[in-house]
Amino acid sequence: MLSERQMMILRAVVRDFTNTGVPVGSKALAKQLPIHVSSATIRNEMAALEEQGLIKKTHSSSGRIPSVEGYRYYVDHLVKPDPLRPNDMDVIQSSLGGDFHKIDEIISQSATILSNLTSYTAFTLKPELKDSRLSGFRLVPLGKRQVMAILVTDSGDVENQTFDVNESVTGDQLEAVVRLINDQLVGLTLPEVVKKLQADIPMKIANYLQSPQGFLDIFGDVLTRAAQERFYVGGRLNLLNFSQDSDVDSLKSLYSLIDKTDDIANVLGRPDDKISVQIGNEMTNDALRNFSLITATYDVNQHGRGMIAILGPTRMPYSRMLGIVGAFREELAKKLLDYYRFYDE
């Protein structure tokens, strides 16, 4: 348990190091603290904080910097989210105020907005789709034996894929298949549709198509894309601004992690309603040992829950970042609810 003075000193060390990147000494702290304390007393308190593993000495300076444990204590007990700056709110609302035609466009734009606001790398995940239902399927002739398959879910997601049709397949056959799909599968959840595709649907399609496998593969691909989790990343290059690794292989590992959906999904995890902060080696992937990750969910009622996150240096201004993430998730939820209300009308 820290004393009030020790908490005051730890807060000052974190904030000073965040602002300057320079190890903090007792003389500098003496000028910053709101109470008058001698440098000798501050040195004694810093020694106590160091003994508890909350600050540490660097090789190049007599000053101290926060440890991962020190940041953890600061985030858990001392930090308070800053109120959002008026111009930040203007940027969020104007950027989300555009005319979007798909949920994915909103989520993708959100990653860019969040990255621009924080100067870090941002991730956004659309609301989970396990309860989404198939609301329609169409095949649109494009000419020259090309057809576009269009799948629509009740959450407003639209997926499409273009494919070539064998010359032996007629328009009437394709229309019969579309009627079959809509009669048998519309209203089912996407996982239920997948099960039906592996059960009786292929035999029924075979009544209309001599070789149904090609169509089933196309329909399965479009369905998989509609059902899969989709992360959007904004500000990939921002990682270069604060990565402590100049080693090319380390940077490659970092970017490889970001580009792999399964890997980044494991890092982001599944936070609950509160905003979550992971610091340094608290994350299981060694490529992130010098980074901090702030994640937050946003709720769009019956349409599910999505996620936003920012990845930045361990030496990030947590108060400001927590304020931005907290406000942004609320504005994003409002935008999506407006979209769903428009779509449902």
Minimum mean pLDDT range among 183-187, 205-209, 260-264, 288-292: 260-264
* Mean pLDDT over the full length of the chain: 86
Rounded CA-CA distance 298/275 in Å is 10
The yes-or-no verdict on residue 35 having pLDDT over 70 is yes
C-beta neighbour count of 245 within 10 angstroms: 15
Q: What confidence category does residue 261 fall into, taking pLDDT thresholds of 50, 70 and 90?
A: low
The yes-or-no verdict on residue 6 having pLDDT over 80 is yes
Q: Hey, is 144 helix, strand or coil?
A: coil
Read off the pLDDT of residues 73-120 as tens digits, 9 standing for 90 and up: 999 999 999 999 989 999 999 999 888 877 888 999 999 999 999 999
The yes-or-no verdict on residue 229 having pLDDT over 70 is no
Q: What confidence category does residue 244 fall into, taking pLDDT thresholds of 50, 70 and 90?
A: low
Which string of DSSP letters, residue by residue, matches 292-331? EEEEEEEE-GGG-EEEEEEEEESS--HHHHHHHHHHHHHH
**Average pLDDT, integer, range 25-44:** 86
Q: What does the block give as tokens for 219?
A: 């329909």
Rounded CA-CA distance 290/178 in Å is 52
Read off the pLDDT of residues 299-333 as tens digits, 9 standing for 90 and up: 888 777 889 999 999 999 999 999 999 999 999 99
Task: Output the pLDDT for position 113.
Answer: 96
- Tell me the domains of the chain and their CATH numbers: 4-78 (1.10.10.10), 86-120+235-344 (3.30.450.40), 134-227 (3.30.390.60)
User: Is residue 229 a contact partner of residue 128, using CB atoms and an 8 Å limit?
Assistant: yes
**Average pLDDT, integer, range 240-256:** 73
**Average pLDDT, integer, range 254-277:** 75
